[in-house]
Structure 1
Amino acid sequence: MWKDIHILLLGEPQVGKTSLILSLVSEEFPEDVPCRVEEITIPADVTPEKVPTYIVDYSEADQAEYKLCEEVARANVVCLVYDLTDLGTLHQVRERWLPLVREYSMHDTMLPVILVGNKSDLITDTKMYEIMPLMNDFPEIETCIECSSKTLNNVSEMFYFAQKAVLHPTGPLYSPNDGYLKPESKIALTRIFNLCDKDNDGLLNDKELANFQKICFSTPLATQALQDVKNVVKKNCPDGVIEDSLTVDGFLYLHLLFIQRGRHETTWAVLRKFGYNDNLTMSDEYIVPDTLLPPQDATPQLTADAREFLVEIFIKYDRDEDGALNQQEMDKLFSVFPYEPWGADVLNTVCTNDKGYITLKGFLSQWMLTTYLDVPRTLEYLGYLGYSTLCGKISQMEGIAYIPNNSQENEKGHLKDIFTCKVVGARGVGKTAFLQGLLERDAETKNSKAQVSVLAINEIAVKGRAPVYLLLHEVEITEVLAAGEGLFMCDSVCLLYDVTDANSFQHCIELYKKYVVNSNVSCFVVAMKADCSAVRQHCTVQPEDFCERNNLPLPKPYSSQTRDLSVYEQIADLTASPNSLCVPKQNVVNMCIKIGLFAAVCMAAGYGIYKYSRGKVFVTQYK
């Protein structure tokens, strides 16, 4: 929103520019009119739009050409004044003043112009027909008005229209030449229609329209008023009302009607409520609001309210009610985004059904993972879904909670719901199968369109509290040797060994002694390929004895053939237990793990969790 507005009055000498300003301020016609008045300040509390307004007068006789250039560059709107009794001054508007405004304007978009015919008290018939060709030739002309500085007729309205031209411009919305909404405004309004269509049936019923009215204008819509609106649409737009509900065509026609009747501030109120700026793009303030720096040593996650919102989104787009989103349903969901945020590789990171469609658990898991890795991106995605607007929040940030790493909950009572576990073992031990097992599938059933991910996340039941999200990150031993102890900044570590390989467990012993024993993280040992015959390990101590000596849980047998979830439940249960919480000895934030995760994603043969190439890349807050 604009902090202030600069209105510049231009035109030929003696057309009444100065008289208009003085009549507005004094509310009477001045008998003695100076050549020019100094800049006038109108306080915010006395303007209809509640924005401080500065009115600037220009006189060729009193000021140099460079001053004109400066004032045009500074202006937010220009009032071009002509004399209704001398149409030669209107000719000069076309030939001189409009080209000059275009030349001197420093704005990225065309500077809005108000055509002002002064001295209406001296004519008997309107001259509006004279300016219609001018408005068709110069799209920057927002509106025109005839007024009189002597009788004060339409003087205050003139300056109000100038304010509206800045705050609620018609240019981005409407094409006066053909009388239609511009494509950009149709796209934005169609997106808003889809967001407000809660049951996803392509119609806005009375309940949805009432909710839309409440969201945008904070006032209820009377039953009769609602019916009157539908009657107007039905009369003028044949496909605008179906089954007593508003279609998208009817919704667009309604806003076209607002604009044509000079009520474009109504359409702008709707657009800005859903985060649009004057260029009809999503504003940065709405998508990624300015926030305080995230607290140190804290883990970001979605709040319960945000997850409930996402559950509603999932149900809305699950048209066949099979508990999963197929490609068509996903396309419809992402139609409110400017680009597709997820690629096929996501499906190997979260739960899907047997057809490869993302389930509700997988959907929420992906959102939790996105939040954990990249809060600004989550804020962006929530903004595209209209979270703050539809849920009555101040900003998207209300969907994020930060949980101190040394606590089960934050000061607002949000419990920590996401826990990370590094899965480490020698090549071929079965790390990939272990990750896919968390998703209740094996490596052979992966989506053929994408490479198996080094990350897996799923919702897991734990004792004595709501389910948590367990995030597994596969790490090669070579990565451990390169990164060292910093790689184990996490909630827990899983050391995997192959029961059929006699040399497998020795790697676990070495890793534990060198990196894990002094890190204070929970540690688990998993015996992979448990469906095969085990061999004695070639090391000084066998796995069971090693775990007992180091006060670790006994090795948990696992086979990808059985897909037993109990091992993940044990990891999640012990990791989420207050007695198992760990704080790295070094005073560093949990971002180390995130850096490791990002690096792993980038190394996965060009595949990642997200298709950054199709969207904006945000610089993460965590540095």
Structure 2
Amino acid sequence: MVTWNTNKRIVRILLVGDPGVGKTSLILSLVSEDFLEDVPPKAEEITIPADVTPEQVPTNIVDYNASEQNDDSLHEEINKAHVVCIVYSVEDESSMDRISEYWLPLIRDSVNESEQRKPVVLVGNKIDLIDYSTIDNVLGIMEDFPEVESCVECSAKTLHNISEMFYYAQKAVLHPAAPLYSMEDQDLTEKCKKALVRIFKICDIDGDGLLNDFELNHFQRRCFNAPLQPQVLEEVKAVLSKNVPDGVVNDAVTLKGFLFLHCLFIQRGRNETTWAVLRRFGYNETLEMSKEYLQPAIKIPPGSSTELSHRGQQFLTMLFERNDRDLDGALSPDELKSLFSACPALPWPSLSDLRRIVPTNEKGWLTLHGWICRWTLQTLVDLPRTLEYLAYLGFNVHENESQLTAIQVTRERRLDLAKKQSNRTVYMCHVIGPKSAGKTALCRALIAEDMKRLLERDFRSGSHYCINSVQIYGQEKHLVMRDIEVRQVLDPLQPQDVHCDVACLVYDTNNPKSFEYIARIYIKYFAESKIPVLITGTKGDLAEVRQEYLLQPAEFCQKYKILPPQIFSLKHNKKDLYVKLATMAAFPRFQAAWILFYRHRLEHLWDSTNLRHFGLMSSDPQLWWKAGIGLAAATCFGYFIVKLFQRSTPS
């Protein structure tokens, strides 16, 4: 079914022409289904209900009379109309000459410069009075004036082609030929070709540059809600084989053949077929992808975030696997460009920066894991762009639904805090600290497997974001590290720099003046907030020096009842810091503190009883007895910590 542009809820048809050509008679014959001998000078405006029109769109028909209306009134009516029918008398050559000499230039001059050309239909009336056709005479006019969509001959007296005339007028508005086809070049317009090439690439599911029978059927179902009958399919291939060299290869339709078919549809007056395809893939009447299609409305409550749904991840995984031509488990730059060839541009302009944002292979190419990470990050921080590119890549067509089904809106953060647990799968950590404290290195270490390679990288360029997955009690979550840029120590933080799921305040353990900055940041921005905070000392492989502040880091943390400082070193990065940050985000407020403490105690006891070495293979009852005592002690201690924090937490 053709999608009608919701910006035009009614088609307005204006009839103009020289006196005596039969404009009013045409309108009255359509309405009364009979020819009236006594015709008024001008017909009143008529509204035809949607259910009696071929396109199921309500239609207004407006008459013009030179003796009753002045030039200003005519200009106004032309601007209000969606299509203008220029009526001429087939027996009067002067009325035909006036089409190009007067009426078409007048219509052009009346249309505002900011608007497109007004579609025009040429109507030859009184065909009952002659025994020849004038269509050949007006074809030259159509070539000179691209806004002329079609021409039709009819008779108000015999009712010949009356309904067809108004159908063509409707069609000129709903399915205009001018944006699709150039009469001068006898070919598709460049805009139309570009749109159809994108559609071809999206429908080429296996990416071999051909549309096989399965892909053609998939295309037919998505556009017209019906399968392509085998006999029709064979007839289409026969037409292509006869008219287009290389239109069919290996019993499949090529891009060249696909474009020819649409050119043939338009030449045969079946513009609606091509428009049905274009609109199904999101194009509007100017052959631009509509804003509503690219970015459908979505409501995101304050404090909620956006993540990829399971459906969204499935679609992106399918795209990755389809475009990994060499099956090496990564997308090379050429494979990435091929994947996004149906889009106006790459979503990430600097491909070289990808290795500074997500995990990649040794060549800096996106693995499937890194690919999903990159989309997860974009969905979190730039949802409109994700929605836009999902539309470009054909999610709406392959899934037959809006791309909103690829998105999941999370629960509001205030509800997470009330329940002291988050059901999110993506957490934002803001990394804040003074210059040269090692913030960027700490962020990049999240995605580095080879620390030696990380140490050799240039940290002065690239994105402020890094993302990777972490395991929290057996569940995979995504942690985003955002490096908050600080130019001057006294610069205030903006609200968008503070609001996050967890904050990592970073100081340099080897710099005595480093801790004071984050201590002041904590007191000013986080002490009264409910955002979990972890203080981290970097460059842990160097000698730790005393900080020139009222309290040392450990004393500061104890005073404000936050976790003790975590010491981090690039040379000994075990990734446990990121698990702690993600755990604090998953279990907000003080619950995170006792969970981490409880986990630490369990791990300590686990090591002390050597269970990691013996595992379930050990049958020593004394060993299991020790483990049981240890677990019970840890449980009791964890319960004590919970009560302690509950009593010390201000209401």
TM more than 0.5: yes
Cα displacement (A) at 1:526? 3.3
1:360, distance to aligned residue in structure 2 (A): 2.6
Answering whether residue 502 of structure 2 is matched by residue 492 of structure 1, we say yes
- CA 1:258–1:147 in 2, change beyond 3 Å: closer, same or farther? same
Query: Hey, what's the Cα distance between the residues in 1 that align with 2:389 and 2:25?
Result: 52
In the alignment, residue 479 of structure 2 is paired with which amino acid? Answer: L
Residue identity matched to 1:329: E
* Contact 1:40/1:55 (8 A) holds in 2: yes
The equivalent residue for 1:474 is 483
Closer/same/farther in 2, CA of residues 133 and 559 from structure 1, 3 Å limit: same
Distance 1:419 1:9 in 2: 62
Distance 1:477 1:4, change over 3 A: closer
The amino acid of 1:430's aligned partner reads: G
Q: Report the Cα offset of residue 549 of structure 1.
A: 6.3
86-95 or 72-81, larger mean C-alpha shift: 86-95
Q: What is the distance in 1 between the residues matched to 2:196 and 2:410?
A: 34
**Structure 1 partner of 2:311:** 305
Gaps of 5+ in 1: 583-623
Aligned-partner residue type, residue 315 of structure 1: E
Q: Which residue of 2 aligns with 1:259?
A: 266
Contact 1:558–1:564 (CA<8 Å) still a contact in 2? no
- TM-superposed deviation, 1:567: 2.1
C-alpha distance after superposition, 1:74-93 (max 9, x if no partner):
11111111112222221122
Contact between 1:105 and 1:111, CA under 8 Å: does it hold in 2?
A: yes
Identity over the aligned pairs, expressed in percent? 44
Give the superposition deviation at 1:94: 2.1
Match of 1:46 in 2: 52
CA separation of 1:249 and 1:562: change in aligned 2, threshold 3 A: farther
Equivalent residues of 2:423, 2:586 under 8 A apart: no
Counterpart in the other structure of 1:618: none
User: Where in structure 2 are the equivalents of 1:592-607 lying within 5 Å?
Assistant: none
The equivalent residue for 2:396 is 388
CA–CA separation in structure 2 for the residues paired with 1:409 and 1:517: 16
- SS of residue in 2 equivalent to 1:483: coil
Shift of 1:114: 0.9
Given candidates 504, 528, 532, the residue that maps to 1:522 is: 532
Distance 2:92 2:535 in 1: 94
The equivalent residue for 2:149 is 142
The secondary structure found in structure 1 opposite 2:345 is coil
Q: For residues 98 and 133 of structure 1, do their structure 2 counterparts lie closer, same or farther at Cα, with a shift above 3 Å needed?
A: same
8 Å contact from structure 2 (residues 387, 403) kept in 1 = no
Would you say 1:210 and 2:217 are equivalent positions?
yes
The alignment partner of 1:403 has SS state of coil
Match of 1:379 in 2: 387
CA pair 290-503 structure 1, distance change in 2 beyond 3 A? closer
- CA distance 1:581–1:269, shift in 2 (3 Å): farther
2:389 maps to amino acid: Y
CA shift for structure 1 position 579: 6.3
Q: 1:338 matched to which residue of 2?
A: 344
Aligned residue type for 2:384 = P
Once structures 1 and 2 are overlaid, which stretch shifts more, 40-49 or 486-495?
486-495
1:527 offset after TM fit, Å? 4.0
CA contact (8 A) 1:287 1:396 kept: no
| Secondary structure at 1:482 match in 2 | coil
Distance 1:335 1:38, change over 3 A: same
Which residue matches 1:587? none
* Aligned residue among 266, 286, 311 for 1:279: 286
Q: Is residue 31 of structure 2 the alignment partner of residue 21 of structure 1?
A: no
- CA distance 1:475–1:95, shift in 2 (3 Å): closer
Alpha-carbon deviations, 1:182-201, whole Å to 9, x = none? 11100011011111222222
Which letter does structure 2 place at the counterpart of 1:471? V
User: Which has the higher mean CA deviation after the structures are superposed, 91-100 or 557-566?
Assistant: 557-566
Which of residues 151, 160, 179 in structure 1 aligns to 2:158? 151
Q: Which moves more between the two structures, 206-215 or 570-579? A: 570-579
Deviations 1:531-584 (A, max 9, x none): 4455566777665666566554454443323442222122213321366689xx
Q: How far 1:65 sits from its partner (Å)?
A: 2.5
Deviation at 1:278, TM superposition (A): 1.0
The offset of 1:357, in angstroms, is: 1.8
Which residue among 429, 442, 449 is the counterpart of 1:434?
442
Provide the C-alpha distance between the structure 1 equivalents of 2:457 and 2:84, rounded to a whole number of angstroms. 62
Q: Does 2:85 align with 1:76?
A: no
Q: Given the alignment of the two structures, is residue 121 of structure 1 paired with residue 131 of structure 2, yes or no?
A: no
1:404 corresponds in structure 2 to: 412
Is the 8 Å Cα contact of residues 4 and 53 (structure 1) preserved in structure 2? yes
- Native 8 Å contact 1:9 1:78 kept in 2: yes
Aligned to 2:464: 454
Aligned match of 2:492: 483
Please report how far the alpha carbon of residue 158 of structure 1 lies from its aligned counterpart in structure 2 after TM superposition.
0.6
Q: CA 1:532/1:513 → structure 2, altered by over 3 Å: closer, same or farther?
A: same
1:14 to 1:335, Cα distance in 2 relative to 1, 3 A:
same
Q: Does 1:419 align with 2:417?
A: no
What is the rounded CA distance, in whole Å, between the counterparts of 1:203 and 1:111 in structure 2? 38
Deviation, 1:408, is 5.3
- Specify the SS of the correspondent of 2:505: strand
- Is the CA contact 1:457–1:470 (under 8 Å) kept in the aligned structure 2? yes
Q: Residue 480 of structure 1: CA displacement?
A: 7.1
Give the Cα separation in 2 of the matches to 1:51 and 1:321: 51
Are 1:349 and 2:353 matched, yes or no? no
| Larger RCO, structures 1/2 (Cα 8 Å, 6+ apart) | 1
2:516, 2:549 within 8 Å by CA — same for their partners in 1?
Answer: yes
Q: 1:87 to 1:319 in 2, by over 3 A?
A: same
- 2:580 pairs, out of 564, 570, 580, with 570
Which residue does 2:624 correspond to in 1?
none
8 Å CA contact 2:143, 2:184 repeated in 1: yes
In structure 2, do the counterparts of structure 1 residues 63 and 544 end up closer, same or farther at CA, with 3 Å as the change threshold?
A: closer
Count of residues paired in the alignment: 576
* Match among 324, 343, 368 for residue 360 of structure 1: 368
User: Is the partner of 1:406 in helix, strand or coil?
Assistant: helix
Please give the alpha-carbon distance, in whole angstroms, between the structure 2 residues aligned to 1:561 and 1:437.
10
User: Aligned-pair distance for 1:523?
Assistant: 2.4
Q: Closer, same or farther in 2 for the Cα pair 1:73/1:496, shift >3 Å?
A: closer
Q: Per-residue CA shift, 1:350-378, capped at 9, x if unaligned?
A: 22222122333333233232232233333
> Deviations along 1:438-486, whole A, 9 cap, x unmatched?
11155544479x8143321222222253x22211122366667432595
- What's the Cα RMSD here? 2.8
C-alpha spacing 1:509/1:118, structure 2 compared with 1 (3 Å): closer
Q: Which amino acid counterpart does residue 569 of structure 2 have in structure 1?
A: S
- The 8 Å contact of residues 431 and 504 in structure 2, kept in 1 or not, is answered as yes
Tell me the equivalent position of 1:558: 568
In 2: Cα distance, 1:388 partner to 1:533 partner: 57
The question of whether the paired residues in 2 share the 8 Å contact of 1:488 and 1:519 is answered with: no
Deviates more, 1:76-85 or 1:422-431: 422-431
Q: CA deviation at 1:289?
A: 2.9
What does residue 595 of structure 2 align with?
none
Residues 249-258 or 130-139, more deviating: 130-139
Write the distance in 1 (CA, Å) between the matches of 2:192 and 2:486. Answer: 54
Compared with structure 1, are the counterparts of its residues 475 and 279 closer, same or farther at alpha carbon in structure 2 (3 Å cutoff)? closer
Query: Structure 1 residues 214 and 447, CA, compared in 2 at 3 Å: closer, same or farther?
Result: farther
Deviation, structure 1 residue 160 = 0.2
- Give the letter aligned to residue 86 of structure 1: D
Alpha carbons 1:425, 1:496 under 8 Å: kept:
yes
Counterpart amino acid of residue 483 in structure 1: P
